[in-house]
Amino acid sequence: MMKLLLVRTSSMGDLIHTFPAITDLAQHCPDICLHWLCESSFADIAALHPFVQEVKTLSWRKWRKFLVSRETWQAIGTLKKDLSAEQYDAVLDAQGLWKSAVFARFAGVPVTGFNRHSARETWVASLYQNKIAVCRDANAVWRNRSLFAQTFHYEFDEKNIDFGMIEQPLFYQTPYHVALTATSADRKLWANENWLSLFQKMYETDGLPIYLPFGNETEKSRAEQLAQQYDFIHVCPKLTLKEAAALLSHASSVIGVDTGLLHLANAFNRPVIGIYTATNPEKTGVQVAVNAKNIGNIGKIPTPKEVFDLWKTIIQAA
CATH (residue range 177-317): 3.40.50.2000
Q: Where are the chain's structural domains?
A: 3-152, 177-317
Q: Is there a common fold for 3-152 and 177-317? A: yes
Whether 19 has a pLDDT exceeding 90, the answer reads: yes
The pLDDT of residue 283: 83
Band of pLDDT at residue 169, cut at 50, 70 and 90 = confident
CATH (residue range 3-152): 3.40.50.2000
- Give the tens place of pLDDT for each residue, 65-88: 999 999 999 999 999 999 999 999
Average pLDDT over residues 246-250: 95
Average pLDDT over residues 264-288: 94
The pLDDT of residue 171: 72
Average pLDDT over residues 175-193: 94
In the chain, the percentage of residues whose pLDDT exceeds 70 is 100
The pLDDT of residue 144: 97
The pLDDT of residue 266: 97
The pLDDT of residue 274: 98
Average pLDDT over all residues of the chain: 96
Q: Which region holds residue 299: left if phi is over 0, alpha if psi is between -120 and 50, else beta?
A: left
Task: State CA 198 to chain mean position distance.
Answer: 25
Whether 309 has a pLDDT exceeding 80, the answer reads: yes
